[in-house]
């Protein structure tokens, strides 16, 4: 049996929130040849989970998130070549089309997917054999898992995984940066960067929040970020009154997972790293401006959401973020019954 899951190629967060679907498929058909089309970063990160060790993660799409006419053409040609190659191999028994583009639906059809399950979106319903409506307010991991539930209803005695969880081996707990840093205060990770300016909380406010946590809670601040967030980290450092305990900006993703798994909590914008932090078991405080917190935020313990009252990141004041962080710290010390 051959199964394909076609994810978005842009952001790693989209792959993380699809973990319930991927793991649900793996558990339902443990002997199937399972392939996941996803972005380059996710194709390297997700295989660290032992449950996904026998899944083939196939990277596709441009490395940049910038959309250009030339990039769209190259992606279309890449998708067509992949579809025709797989068609010659006999196609797939099932294709889950998570990506909501018309191109993704066409790729599934050209791949000769006997059952093609996806969202009825972008006028592509006729390309699918099974489809569901996309709910803009439903948590993304529940929406994605809905594709599997549409094809094979969930059984009470064999529930599907309903939250994104990424497990990994201890060998990934060896970052190149000196970690954990010395001291006794809570390890609090902060991510000043984001994929776009509209999703980035003003860095001077992240600096003020970090200073307040050092003053009030003796926090050991750990800067988290990818190689492309070096400039944001430097700006944060310039605005802070106190030194941070550790700057891990630029660590590779598996090592970053190991770092975040050891944090007391993580504070950041609505980014892929925020989803990764929660998936590896780190409590999170996520800051939301223009994106929909009902869809991308986590409303259960031990997580908190800070949603801007005006839909912009500038609408979040430092006191609101500090209140959320302190509320979570208190809840971690005195967990709810």
Residue where the block lists tokens 């986590």: 298
Predicted confidence at residue 326, as pLDDT, reads: 97
Domain with CATH 3.40.50.2000 in the chain: 2-151, 170-333
Measured on CA atoms in the order 309, 264, 251, 170, is the torsion positive or negative?
negative
Under-70 pLDDT residues of the chain: 63-68, 70, 170-177, 337
Beta strands in 150-302 (DSSP E): 187-191, 220-223, 246-247, 265-269, 284-288
Predicted confidence at residue 60, as pLDDT, reads: 87
Tokens of 164: 């994104």
Dihedral angle at the C-alpha atoms of 60, 62, 67, 71, nearest 10 degrees? Answer: -100
Angle of the 19-28 helix axis to the 140-151 helix axis, nearest 10: 30
Domain 2-151 CATH assignment equals 3.30.470.20: no
The DSSP H or E segment spanning 72 is helix 69-88
CB of 115 within 8 A of CB of 136? no
Burial class (CB in 10 A: 0-12, 13-18, 19+), 281: middle
Predicted confidence at residue 164, as pLDDT, reads: 96
Q: In whole angstroms, give the CA distance from residue 332 to residue 310.
A: 29
Q: pLDDT tens, 106-119?
A: 999 999 899 999 99
Predicted confidence at residue 151, as pLDDT, reads: 95
Q: pLDDT tens, 136-152?
A: 899 999 999 999 999 99
DSSP 126-174: GG-SEEEPPPSSS-HHHHHHHHHHHHSPPBTTBPPP-S------GGG--
Q: In whole angstroms, give the CA distance from residue 249 to residue 246.
A: 9
Q: In whole angstroms, give the CA distance from residue 146 to residue 126.
A: 19
* CATH code of the region 170-333: 3.40.50.2000
Predicted confidence at residue 337, as pLDDT, reads: 65
Model confidence, pTM: 0.92
């Amino acid at each position: 049996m051959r199964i394909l899951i076609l994810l978005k190629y842009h952001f790693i967060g989209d792959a993380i929130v699809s973990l319930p679907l991927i793991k649900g498929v793996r558990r339902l058909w443990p002997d199937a040849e399972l392939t996941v089309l996803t972005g380059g970063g996710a194709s390297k990160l997700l295989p660290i989970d032992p449950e996904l060790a026998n899944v083939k993660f196939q990277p596709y799409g441009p490395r940049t998130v910038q959309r250009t006419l030339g990039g769209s053409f190259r992606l279309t040609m890449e998708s067509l070549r992949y579809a025709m190659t797989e068609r010659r191999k006999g196609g797939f028994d099932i294709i889950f089309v998570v990506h909501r583009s018309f191109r993704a639906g066409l790729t599934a059809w050209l791949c000769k997917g006997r059952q093609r399950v996806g969202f009825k979106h972008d006028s592509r319903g006729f390309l699918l054999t099974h489809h569901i409506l996309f709910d803009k307010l439903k948590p993304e991991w529940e929406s994605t898992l809905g594709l599997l539930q549409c094809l094979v209803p969930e059984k009470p005695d064999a529930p599907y995984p309903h939250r994104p969880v990424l497990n990994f081996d201890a060998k990934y707990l060896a970052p190149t940066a000196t970690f954990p840093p010395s001291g006794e205060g809570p390890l609090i990770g902060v991510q000043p960067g984001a994929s776009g300016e509209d999703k980035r909380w003003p860095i001077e406010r992240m600096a003020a929040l970090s200073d307040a946590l050092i003053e009030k809670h003796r926090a050991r601040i750990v800067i988290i970020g990818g190689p492309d967030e070096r400039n944001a980290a430097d700006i944060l450092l310039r605005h802070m009154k106190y030194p941070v305990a550790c700057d891990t900006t630029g660590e590779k993703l598996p090592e970053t997972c190991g770092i975040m798994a050891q944090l007391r909590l993580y504070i950041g914008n609505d980014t892929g790293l925020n989803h990764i932090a929660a998936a590896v078991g780190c409590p999170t405080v996520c800051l939301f401006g223009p994106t929909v917190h009902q869809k991308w935020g986590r409303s259960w313990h031990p997580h908190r959401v800070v949603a801007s009252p005006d839909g912009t990141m500038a609408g979040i004041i430092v006191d609101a973020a500090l209140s959320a962080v302190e509320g979570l710290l208190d809840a971690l010390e005195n967990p709810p019954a």
